[in-house]
């Protein structure tokens, strides 16, 4: 009983000292975070266009022209070595009854939006990797397996991939797929913008096969001008917006639609802000580590604290 009192006293004294030190450290941490975060957010944005080629390629999809023939799906499967049946399989319209997402053996799929009203015409929208200007999948990839090519495509290198699937989580369009059924060498599967074809001077397979030329392959700048001119020339026939010009910080796939894009979220055109999710996180992180400032700052802070506490103990 006698021995317990000094212990209690010591504990109380220690608690007092702990609280003040904890409070001190907490304040310093908050101050540091606010300073660094504020500097990061407030400083100049690093534009994606700086890293990209001015002649980077893109595809313009005109949803008013698309007739939902699904030849793009078939050609895509053929060009990427995925399994597919005869071309007549495209005539099966029953697939439109449910919404489909890209899968490991079908990188592009067409969905139908029936629309509202008695005289609403169906709109068919092709969905595939959008090849973002500032791809979150590239940002999230730990090992650099995902790469944004300055000429437009977002490419995947299976030899580097460690299978973390952060890219699947990061993609705001949910277009990436993973070979969960492959036991030993699973890969992320996605549209590669027909890189193997474009390098040979061909256009992507889906663009080539499209019978109505609803898909057009060209320089992104040219296509944007073309899209805006088409909206102006056909007043009232298109929504005055080019999807992908700014969505998610801009994409290589651009869409023109006769119906409001808000109605087309169900077929793979979700409403996104004009900033890539990757842009902000990368920006904060890059600013913190600019000139190795954060490690130096933290080391300096700790050294200062150490110096003060030592001085206090000496005195």
Partner 1 sequence: MVRAIRDRYRDHTDLELHVNALLTSLALAACTFSGLAASPPTPTAQAGRILGPDVVILDQVVGCYGSVRFDHRLHTQMSTIQGECKNCHHELQAGSQQTSEPVIRPCRTCHEPMSTVVTSEKPGLRGAYHRQCLSCHKDWSHENACGYCHTSSAMVRGSAVGTKMPHAANPPRSFAQVVYTYQTGHAPVPVVTFHHADHAEKFGLQCVDCHGGSSCGQCHGSKIERPVVNREESCFKCHTQSRCVTCHDRQERPAFDHSVHTRWWLRAGHAALACSACHVAGEMPRRPTSDSCKQCHAQRWGDTEFDHARTGVALRGDHEYFDCLECHRGGDQAMLASCSSCHTERYVAGERRVGRVLGELPTGFPQPPAGVLHAPD
Segment lying near partner 1 (by CB under 8 A), choices 125-133, 158-166, 202-210, 299-307? 202-210
Nearest 5°: phi and psi at 278? -70, -30
- d(CA 74, CA 169) in angstroms, rounded, equals 27
State the burial class of residue 278 (Cβ atoms within 10 Å of its Cβ: 0-12, 13-18, 19+): buried
Residue 218 interacting with partner 1 (CB under 8 A): yes
Among the listed residues 48, 68, 102, 112, the single contact to partner 1 using CB under 8 A:
68
- d(CA 5, CA 98) in angstroms, rounded, equals 74
Among the listed residues 223, 239, 267, 272, the single contact to partner 1 using CB under 8 A:
223
Residue 15 interacting with partner 1 (CB under 8 A): no
Residue 197 interacting with partner 1 (CB under 8 A): no
Among the listed residues 149, 222, 245, 263, the single contact to partner 1 using CB under 8 A:
222
Contact 137, 85 (CB under 8 A): no
Residues 109-168 that bind partner 1 (CB under 8 A): 118-119, 121
- d(CA 240, CA 237) in angstroms, rounded, equals 9
Residue 196 interacting with partner 1 (CB under 8 A): no
- Angstrom distances, CA of residue 24 to CA of 18, 29, 305: 10, 9, 10
* Number of shown-chain residues binding partner 1 (CB under 8 A): 27
Interface mask toward partner 1 for 28-67; x: CB under 8 A: -----------------------------x--x----x-x
Q: Crossing angle of helices 4-42/293-314, nearest 10°?
A: 150
- d(CA 94, CA 116) in angstroms, rounded, equals 20
* Residue ranges with strand state E in the chain: 57-62, 109-113, 123-127, 146-148, 154-156, 177-178, 188-189, 215-219, 253-256
- d(CA 74, CA 59) in angstroms, rounded, equals 18
Smallest gap from Cβ 240 to partner 1, in A, equals 18
The residue (of 79 and 145) whose beta carbon lies closer to partner 1 is: 79
Residues 69-98 that bind partner 1 (CB under 8 A): 69, 87-88, 91
Segment lying near partner 1 (by CB under 8 A), choices 179-187, 216-224, 250-258, 285-293? 216-224
Among the listed residues 129, 154, 226, 267, the single contact to partner 1 using CB under 8 A:
226
Give contact residues for partner 1 (rule: CB under 8 A). Answer: 57, 60, 65, 67-69, 87-88, 91, 118-119, 121, 202-203, 210-213, 216-219, 222-223, 226, 229-230
């Amino acid at each position: 009983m006698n021995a317990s009192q000094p212990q209690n006293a010591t504990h109380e004294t220690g608690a007092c000292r702990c609280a003040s030190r904890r409070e001190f450290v907490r304040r310093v941490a908050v101050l540091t975070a606010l300073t660094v975060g504020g500097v990061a957010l407030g400083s100049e944005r690093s534009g994606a266009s700086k890293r990209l080629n001015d002649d980077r390629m893109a595809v313009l999809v005109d949803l008013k022209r698309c007739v939902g023939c699904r030849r793009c799906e078939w050609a895509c499967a053929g060009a990427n070595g995925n399994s597919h049946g005869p071309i007549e399989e495209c005539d099966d319209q029953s697939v439109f009854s449910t919404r489909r997402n890209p899968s490991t053996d079908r990188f592009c799929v067409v969905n139908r939006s029936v629309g509202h009203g008695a005289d609403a015409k169906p709109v068919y929208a092709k969905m595939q990797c959008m090849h973002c200007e500032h791809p979150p999948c590239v940002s999230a990839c730990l090992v650099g397996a995902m790469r944004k090519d300055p000429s437009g495509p977002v490419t995947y290198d299976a030899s580097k991939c460690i299978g973390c699937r952060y890219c699947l989580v990061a993609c705001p369009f949910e277009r990436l797929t993973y070979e969960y059924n492959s036991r030993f060498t699973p890969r992320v599967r996605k549209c590669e913008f027909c890189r193997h074809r474009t390098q040979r001077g061909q256009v992507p397979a889906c663009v080539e096969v499209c019978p109505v030329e609803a898909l057009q392959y060209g320089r992104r700048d040219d296509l944007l001008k073309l899209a805006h001119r088409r909206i102006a020339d056909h007043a009232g026939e298109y929504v005055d917006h080019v999807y992908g010009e700014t969505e998610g910080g801009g994409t290589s796939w651009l869409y023109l639609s006769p119906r409001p894009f808000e109605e087309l979220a169900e077929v793979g055109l979700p409403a996104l802000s004009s900033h890539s999710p990757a842009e902000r996180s990368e920006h904060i992180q890059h600013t913190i580590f600019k000139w190795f400032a954060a490690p130096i700052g933290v080391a300096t802070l700790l050294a200062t604290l150490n110096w003060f506490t030592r001085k206090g103990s000496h005195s």
